Chains A and B, each alone.
Chain A
Amino acid sequence: MSCNCGENKCSNPDNPEVNGNSRRDFLMTGLTGLAATVALAGCGTGPNPFIPEEKVALTGGKVKLLSVNGEIIEIDKAFLKPVPDMPHLSNAEERHGIAGKKFVMVIDLARCKNLRKCQSACNHMHQVHPGQNWIKVLGMEDADHAAPYWQPTTCMHCDEPPCVKVCPVDATFKRQDGIVLIDSDRCVGCRFCMAACPYSTRVFNWEEPVLTEEVAEQKYSCESSMPQKKGTVGKCDFCPDMTRKGELPHCVSACPNGVFMFGDLNQDTVSNGAETFRFSELIKDKAGYRLMEDLGTKPSVYYLPPVNRNFPYENGLENSKTDDNSYHTK
């Protein structure tokens, strides 16, 4: 196949046809669309390469800058920030999800030694109540003579979510990108979802959440799950605010052992930041499975069995002693 078919947009900045096409392609496929915006950079509007222009809240103001080869180009002021602001999303958009995506997570049990960096990063970023966790690392032993292993659990973001089935007010819902979220502005606090979830993944804000001032003043968003609200349910949200920016969820980037891999099933790829795998090959080669398949919940989280382990189980025992026992502030 000829390489002409694949256009390097930078070398064709004056071909509007190509630009137009690639932009449409981006919109239709949900590819990162870098090519499209880079092309525009040559024409005078500009991108942050990690976030396509279409996804950014543009200010309209322009700033001039110097390119690598000494050309003067113009970009939108929105890109002056390290991470440009995302456009404000309506509740309806947050409930609909990111178009074209179907998020999936793979957790490699052979790499986990109960370091709980995932947990602390998650707790920190979501300001989870002291003592509670959205991610748990369970010491598991499946049978009497089976070998014990460490199993991190997140929300499974099931495709047949039992929690969503029972919600009386659409406060918890499944999005098009596969993520199951909670709208804490809607939740009535009946806790039926907690009873329905077989993975015990949901937590409840039994008292006024402990928030930093900055977060407490923030406008509530289902995507960031912040600020959390008293009397409502919370859980792992697959960090849709991060994935929208093209970044990995906090637990994935926090794990030094690369246990968590996250990606888009439609792209057949998962990544832990350092390594990137083709999802279907990884699941095939390492015999991936899902938790409690017999319940028919169809989780979006896959596990790789703890074979050829990187660490002995005992290495993780130390960290189990640090369970936070301080819940109450009453």
Chain B
Amino acid sequence: MGNSAIIPADQITRDLLPQKFGTRGVIWTTILILTCMLGAFAYYRQLRYGLVVTNMRDYVSWGIYISNFVFFVAISLVGSLITAILRLANVHWSTPLTRIAEIIAVSAIVFAALIIIVDMGRPERFLNLALHGRIQSPIMWDVIVISTYFFISLLLLYFPLLPDLKIMIENKEKTSKWLYKLYRFQGSFWKGTKEQFRLSDKAINILCILIIPVAFSIHTVTSWLFATTYRPGWDSTNFGAYFISGAFLVGSGAVVVAMYVFRSAYKLEKYITELHFDRMGKVVVMLSLLYLYFNINEYLIPAFKMKKSEELHLEELFTGEYSKMFWFAIMVGMIIPIFVLIFKAGRKPLPMFIIGSMVVVGAWFKRYLIVTPTLLHPFLPMTNVPESFKHYFPSWEEWAIAAGSMAGVLLVITFFARIYPIIPIQETITEQTEHHENN
């Protein structure tokens, strides 16, 4: 635990046990629930009238649902980065962040799956994927890896939670009756014996190794949904790496934002310290540079050749209709974060929070730019269709569903933090003791 003084174990427990919502928490949750309900209403309309309530049409057949899906899959990748990669690299400072990263991963992947169902014209036929599934289709690959990733992330959330469940069961007086029942149901068997720890640690290690290829798969396969087509802007061998680097970046941005919010909401300054922000800042810089590198690959090389099919697409992005959004996403999502975060002052909590938010927002627009402009630049000219088919701007239903899904992700995270300690208690205590003993 950083360079701060040793905190007694009982105080750690007291600080980190889940807290009831304050007024701000209630308002926040209410807003999220209302947004979700709006999204649900919009979805009801979509079910009733069909996808005609969206502004997608025959040319732009995928819209913000799909860009939102890519965004969620991207964010969820951070679970593997913070938990697994840093853990395997023997980095210890990231321990307090693991659970934040993991719950972001789980809730984002759940809503990624949901948004795909929302995008389907016949959601009631979802089971056809099991009944008539065709392994040649990248969609099937996606379905398989996403469900696998969800399952691994869930386990990776659960195993480290066991010791904390024991602590919470022991602090019965600080919790409500039904939560106590829930804790007992989930973890009453955990006695904290050496053998249990041995098995659990081994399981966590296996999961950490397993999650890395699966995480790479989910986003690589997601990129292949585009790269397996011929379309300009998608037809790229760079796409898998490009998507993964972007995913790590947006996920880290989301973790930074979550760190800041939890830190101030739950007064966790002693546990999520400036050192964590500083280190995460360095991680974000590195990832921004990496993503920038892949972006240059992705745009400079086709632009150098300017093949006819790519020409209009690239021009629209660089100087045309989409140029404002394009340069906004590049500047806000990569360039500005790099320039702010290379300075130590830029890696303080508040600037980090702002930069983290910028990274996330920039990343959302980046996904929009990956999906939509390409569809508006098909090989054959867009004719013999109503004028509305030649443009795309999401309808209110699409915005509402997109907003609802984001609110949903945040709601899951919020409720999780209400029920479980968002910073692992047991691990923090262990690290403190180890740190103390080492000194």
Q: Chain A interface (Cβ within 8 Å of chain B)? A: 119, 131-133, 136-140, 153, 162, 165-171, 186-192, 194-196, 198-200, 202-208, 230-233, 292, 295, 320, 323-330
A207 to chain B, nearest CB (A): 4
Inter-chain contact A168/B129, CB cutoff 8 Å? yes
* With contact pairs A199-B379, A232-B121, A232-B122 given, residues A168 and B58 touching in the complex (Cβ less than 8 Å): no
B116 neighbours in A (Cβ, 8 Å): 190
B379 neighbours in A (Cβ, 8 Å): 198-200, 292
How far apart are the CA atoms of A84 and B134 in the complex, in Å?
38
Inter-chain contact B386/A131, CB cutoff 8 Å? yes
B409 to chain A, nearest CB (A): 22
* With contact pairs A231-B50, A330-B53 given, residues A195 and B62 touching in the complex (Cβ less than 8 Å): yes
* With contact pairs A195-B229, A330-B52 given, residues A200 and B383 touching in the complex (Cβ less than 8 Å): no
A-B contact pairs, 22 of them (CB 8 A): A131-B386, A132-B58, A133-B384, A137-B383, A138-B383, A165-B136, A167-B137, A168-B133, A168-B140, A186-B125, A188-B122, A190-B121, A191-B121, A195-B61, A195-B226, A206-B57, A230-B50, A231-B50, A231-B120, A232-B122, A323-B383, A330-B49
How far apart are the CA atoms of A234 and B142 in the complex, in Å?
24
Q: Chain B interface (Cβ within 8 Å of chain A)? A: 49-54, 56-59, 61-62, 116, 119-123, 125-126, 128-129, 131-134, 136-140, 143, 225-226, 228-231, 375, 378-389
Contact partner, A207, options B49, B119, B231, Cβ 8 Å: B49
**Chain A, Cβ-Cβ closest to B371:** A195
A323 to chain B, nearest CB (A): 6
Contact partner, A200, options B49, B120, B380, Cβ 8 Å: B380
Inter-chain contact A192/B139, CB cutoff 8 Å? yes
- The SS class assigned to the B binding surface is loop
How far apart are the CA atoms of A200 and B136 in the complex, in Å?
21
Inter-chain contact A133/B385, CB cutoff 8 Å? yes
Inter-chain contact B134/A170, CB cutoff 8 Å? yes
**Chain A, Cβ-Cβ closest to B224:** A166
How far apart are the CA atoms of A295 and B384 in the complex, in Å?
24
B382 neighbours in A (Cβ, 8 Å): 200
B50 neighbours in A (Cβ, 8 Å): 205-208, 230-231
How far apart are the CA atoms of A196 and B139 in the complex, in Å?
12
How far apart are the CA atoms of A192 and B229 in the complex, in Å?
9
B54 neighbours in A (Cβ, 8 Å): 206
How far apart are the CA atoms of A132 and B61 in the complex, in Å?
14
B138 neighbours in A (Cβ, 8 Å): 166, 192
How far apart are the CA atoms of A275 and B137 in the complex, in Å?
42
Given contacts A166-B136, A192-B225, A327-B57, 13 further A-B pairs with CB under 8 A are A131-B386, A133-B384, A136-B383, A136-B384, A168-B139, A168-B143, A188-B128, A189-B123, A204-B51, A207-B49, A231-B122, A320-B383, A326-B386
A328 neighbours in B (Cβ, 8 Å): 52, 388
* With contact pairs A187-B122, A192-B139, A231-B121 given, residues A119 and B384 touching in the complex (Cβ less than 8 Å): yes
How far apart are the CA atoms of A326 and B386 in the complex, in Å?
7
A138 neighbours in B (Cβ, 8 Å): 380-381, 383-384
How far apart are the CA atoms of A281 and B120 in the complex, in Å?
46
**Chain B, Cβ-Cβ closest to A322:** B384
Inter-chain contact B61/A191, CB cutoff 8 Å? yes
Inter-chain contact A325/B61, CB cutoff 8 Å? no
Inter-chain contact A196/B121, CB cutoff 8 Å? no
How far apart are the CA atoms of A59 and B128 in the complex, in Å?
37
Inter-chain contact A204/B137, CB cutoff 8 Å? no
Which one of A195, A292, A330 has the highest number of Cβ atoms from chain B below 10 Å of its Cβ? A195
B52 neighbours in A (Cβ, 8 Å): 206-207, 328-330
How far apart are the CA atoms of A133 and B139 in the complex, in Å?
27
A222 to chain B, nearest CB (A): 14
Contact partner, B228, options A119, A196, A325, Cβ 8 Å: A196
How far apart are the CA atoms of A186 and B128 in the complex, in Å?
7
A206 neighbours in B (Cβ, 8 Å): 50-52, 54, 56-57
Contact partner, A169, options B51, B57, B123, B129, Cβ 8 Å: B129
* With contact pairs A195-B61, A208-B50 given, residues A327 and B381 touching in the complex (Cβ less than 8 Å): no
Contact partner, A198, options B231, B381, B385, Cβ 8 Å: B231
B375 neighbours in A (Cβ, 8 Å): 195
A248 to chain B, nearest CB (A): 22
Inter-chain contact B385/A131, CB cutoff 8 Å? yes
Inter-chain contact A325/B387, CB cutoff 8 Å? yes
B384 neighbours in A (Cβ, 8 Å): 119, 133, 136-138, 323
Inter-chain contact B386/A325, CB cutoff 8 Å? yes
Which one of A167, A191, A320 has the highest number of Cβ atoms from chain B below 10 Å of its Cβ? A191
Inter-chain contact A188/B230, CB cutoff 8 Å? no
Inter-chain contact A196/B229, CB cutoff 8 Å? yes
Inter-chain contact B126/A166, CB cutoff 8 Å? no
Which one of B54, B116, B386 has the highest number of Cβ atoms from chain A below 10 Å of its Cβ? B386
Which one of A137, A168, A231, A327 has the highest number of Cβ atoms from chain B below 10 Å of its Cβ? A168
A205 neighbours in B (Cβ, 8 Å): 50, 121
How far apart are the CA atoms of A203 and B57 in the complex, in Å?
8
**Chain B, Cβ-Cβ closest to A209:** B50
B378 neighbours in A (Cβ, 8 Å): 198, 200
